[in-house]
């Protein structure tokens, strides 16, 4: 598959057209951002690590019956994906209180959430990805509500699969965000699933192994991503 023109350059990935209009190439860069792009740094190896990590997770989800845009990993930094019309909404599930929910609601970090919470956010960096609900989506016609409901159902299915996966390897899936798109009338999981877009803690020590290490200047960001991957059986050599 030939990589052609740049479609969009996000905060950590770039999307390119291919010689087949139905597919794109997703390129993982070393760029690392926080606080809606206000802080950006280059972290060596990060693009490669996230590409390998994402391919593994997407294949796990496909095997569990969750449809995704992922086709295959091409090389260290590129993956082939289906071209979709993206839904401009982020779906967030929280199993443990951390991050923005603690600031918004004044709750203590580390509280187990039973049942897990589900939240929707508008994808808009300039506005800081504000929290929204289905009424906003319907009123402003950002997406079809039936597609948003499908995305919600798939988001919880992802939770069932990955919460157990991480738990089986001594880790806690604290929370995560997912993005979805529509391809040939079907809602598919898009974007990526890496430690950039979720929180993962060691189950015993509750050490943070995700992008909070970058946000909170804890250091060893990529090294922690590799720790997570190796616990899951991945090799980054």
More confident site: 87 or 33: 87
- Long-range contacts, stretch 123-127, CB < 8 angstroms, 24+ apart: 123/88, 123/89, 123/90, 123/179, 124/88, 125/36, 125/37
Task: Output the pLDDT for position 125.
Answer: 87
pLDDT tens, residue by residue, 179-206: 999 999 999 999 999 999 999 999 999 9
pLDDT score for 37: 67
187 lies in a domain? yes
CA dihedral (161, 166, 168, 169) positive or negative: positive
Residue 120 token pair: 């929707």
Residues 121, 152: Cα–Cα separation, whole Å = 12
Residue with tokens 């995700």: 210
Question: pLDDT digits over 106-151, tens only?
Answer: 999 999 999 999 999 999 989 999 999 999 999 999 999 999 999 9
**Is 228 contained in some domain?**
no
Angle among Cα 115, 120, 121 to the nearest 5 degrees reads: 140
Residues of the domain holding 26 = 3-82
Q: What percent of the chain has pLDDT over 90?
A: 95
Residue 100: per-residue pLDDT = 95
pTM, two decimal places: 0.96
Residues 133, 103, single domain; the answer is yes
Statement to judge: residues 186 and 150 lie in one domain: yes
19-42 pLDDT per residue, tens: 999 999 999 999 998 877 678 899
For residue 115, is the peptide bond before it cis, meaning its omega torsion is within 30 degrees of 0?
yes
CA distance 198 to 210: 7
What would the two tokens of residue 75 be? Answer: 């090389």
Does any domain span residue 108? yes
Query: Do residues 98 and 214 both lie within one domain?
Result: yes
More confident residue, 38 or 7: 7
Largest CA distance in the chain: 51
Can you spell out the DSSP letters for 89-157?
EEEEEEEE--THHHHHHTPPTT-EEEEEEEEEEE--GGGT--EE-HHHHHHTTSS-HHHHHHHHHHHHH
pLDDT of residue 237: 84
Q: Quick: pLDDT tens for 153-185.
A: 999 999 999 999 999 999 999 999 999 999 999
Give Cα 217 to chain centroid, integer Å.
21
Start-to-end Cα distance in the chain: 25
| Position 237 in a domain | no
184 in the same domain as 123: yes
pLDDT for the residue 15: 98
For residue 92, is pLDDT > 70? yes
Structure tokens at 63: 């095997």
Q: Are both 131 and 210 inside the same structural domain?
A: yes
Q: Are both 176 and 193 inside the same structural domain?
A: yes
- Distance separating alpha carbons of residues 225 and 199, to the nearest angstrom: 11
Integer angstrom CA distances of residue 95 from 60, 111, 162, 176: 20, 9, 11, 9
Backbone angles phi, psi at 136, to 5 degrees: -60, -45
Total domains present in the chain: 2
With bands split at pLDDT 50, 70 and 90, how would you rate the model's confidence at 218?
A: very high
Residue 38: per-residue pLDDT: 74
């Amino acid at each position: 598959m030939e990589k052609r023109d740049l479609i969009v350059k996000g905060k950590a990935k770039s999307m390119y057209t291919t010689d087949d209009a139905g597919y794109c190439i997703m390129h993982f860069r070393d760029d690392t951002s926080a606080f809606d792009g206000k802080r950006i740094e280059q972290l060596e190896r990060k693009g490669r690590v996230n590409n390998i990590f994402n391919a593994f997770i997407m294949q796990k989800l496909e095997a569990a019956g969750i449809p995704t845009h992922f086709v295959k990993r091409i090389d260290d930094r590129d993956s082939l994906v289906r071209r979709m019309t993206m839904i401009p909404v982020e779906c967030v599930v929280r199993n443990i209180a951390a991050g923005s929910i603690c600031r918004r609601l004044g709750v203590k970090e580390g509280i187990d959430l039973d049942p897990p919470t589900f939240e929707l956010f508008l994808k808009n960096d300039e506005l800081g990805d504000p929290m929204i609900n289905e009424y906003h989506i319907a009123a402003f016609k950002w997406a079809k509500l039936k597609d948003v409901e499908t995305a919600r159902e798939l988001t919880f299915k992802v939770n069932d699969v990955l919460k157990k996966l991480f738990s089986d390897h001594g880790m806690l899936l604290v929370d995560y965000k997912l993005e979805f798109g529509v391809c040939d009338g079907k809602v598919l999981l898009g974007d990526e699933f890496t430690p950039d877009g979720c929180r993962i803690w060691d189950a015993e020590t509750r050490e943070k192994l995700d992008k909070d290490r970058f946000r909170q200047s804890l250091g060893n960001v990529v090294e922690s991503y590799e720790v997570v991957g190796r616990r899951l059986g991945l090799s980054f050599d």
